Amino acid sequence: MDLTIVIPTLNRPSYVEKILRYYEKQNFKGCVIIIDSSIGKDFKLTSNKVKISRLKVNHKYFAGDAFTCMKYALPLIETKYAVHSGDDDYYSVKGIKKIIKTLDKNSKYTSAFGDSVTVGVNDDKNEISGSSIYRMPYSEQLLLRNRLNQVPRNSQLPIYAIFRTEKFKILYNSLLTNQNKNRKQILSYLNEHMIRLLPAILGPSTKVKIFFLVRFMTNQQYKMGNINFKKEHKEFNKLQNLCIKKIGSLIKDKKNYIIAKKKMNIFKQNSVRPRNISLIIRYFFLRNLALCQGLLDLVYYGGWIHNKYLDKNSKNYNFEFVKITNAFLNE
């Protein structure tokens, strides 16, 4: 399989062990790159698991946030396609195969993905606590202007798709990286904004009708703190201008560049807490998009989507989902 899965990780050797075991059982024939920021015992534990894995795994140490680690991994990718994965994101191998076939047959698409879900897990009880559809935005439009106009004000991150490697490298090389602790939080915000925009700039994307991904959300999840814009607005604006310059280097047409620049400013507005009551309500929904969508899914499906996927008597029963959840919960 001409695909590399890139996994940044930090101090979670048990998670790495589980995900490697899953891909072994699914007879995954591609490559895995693990960029590990762990130190001491945790790094050694992961290293030992990699050594006995039947998969083709490249395990490297690099200290940094997820985006910096992804950038570090780029020279190591030698396959035609690549995909980003957390150590708690599980791809269906069956889904991967169909999506690669789609990209092989359709050179106009830069990336492609399939049906995806987010699953909440209570670590203490080792059981599923909730679930919702993970809705990645995409556009099949050939014109850049049309794709940019279709980028939503806020959305799930559209990076959990299979990309052609040359585009994948452009995407992550375009992100800002800086190990300065004072800048790290601002950069995380801005890189997320960039990630919402860059796939549209790089080319058309498509969604394939097949189950593809489960993103697990656990008690150990990293949570991004809030930025004090009163104190840090100068630094934020300075770094945002660097982001806009990066975007400008990818867009040659001035009109398209102006659209992209406006989108970045809209993303910034989403991050700043407003004072007007109507804007406060909109701000809440935008900042809690996953929660709101999860509640809507709960109503639409008449219960949690994972219960439908696990129920053999349901028309929504999904064997790929069953295999993935069993692997994550060690069942």
Closest CA to 116 of 149, 150, 71, 84: 84
pLDDT value at position 155? 79
Q: Which residues pair with 7 in a beta bridge?
A: 34
Same domain, 120 and 208: yes
Which domain range does residue 227 map to? 91-328
How far apart are the C-alpha atoms of 176 and 235, rounded to whole Å? 14
Same domain, 20 and 100: no
Q: Which residues pair with 57 in a beta bridge?
A: 32
Look at residues 87, 105, 126 and tell me which one is the last residue of a structural domain: 87
Hey, is 162 helix, strand or coil? strand
pLDDT in tens, 169-185: 999 999 988 655 567 77
Look at residues 87, 107, 135 and tell me which one is the last residue of a structural domain: 87
Same domain, 68 and 81: yes
Number of independent structural domains in the chain: 2
pLDDT in tens, 134-158: 999 999 999 999 999 999 987 788 9
Same domain, 9 and 149: no
Instruction: Please tell me the pTM assigned to this model.
Output: 0.90
Same domain, 124 and 52: no
- Sorted by sequence, the CB contacts under 8 Å of residue 56 that are 6+ apart come out as 30, 31, 32
The tokens describing 237, both together, are 């604006």
Same domain, 122 and 156: yes
How far apart are the C-alpha atoms of 289 and 59, rounded to whole Å? 34
Q: Give me the CATH number covering residue 68.
A: 3.40.50
How far apart are the C-alpha atoms of 202 and 169, rounded to whole Å? 11
Same domain, 26 and 136: no
How far apart are the C-alpha atoms of 152 and 192, rounded to whole Å? 13
Same domain, 191 and 77: no
Residue for token pair 């009880």: 125
Same domain, 156 and 13: no
Same domain, 82 and 216: no
Closest CA to 227 of 190, 177, 179, 193: 190
Alpha helices, DSSP H, located in 223-253: 229-250
Same domain, 132 and 255: yes
How far apart are the C-alpha atoms of 129 and 141, rounded to whole Å? 37
Find out whether 104 and 79 touch, Cβ atoms under 8 Å: no
The tens-digit pLDDT sequence of the chain (331 residues) is: 999 999 999 999 999 999 999 999 999 999 999 999 999 999 999 999 999 999 999 999 999 888 899 999 999 999 999 999 999 999 999 999 999 999 999 999 999 999 999 999 988 888 998 899 999 999 999 999 999 999 998 778 899 999 999 999 999 999 988 655 567 778 888 888 899 999 999 999 999 999 999 999 987 665 555 556 567 778 888 888 999 999 999 998 999 999 999 998 887 765 555 545 554 444 444 445 556 666 777 776 777 889 999 999 999 999 999 999 999 998 6
Look at residues 64, 87, 110 and tell me which one is the last residue of a structural domain: 87
How far apart are the C-alpha atoms of 187 and 182, rounded to whole Å? 10
Same domain, 60 and 198: no
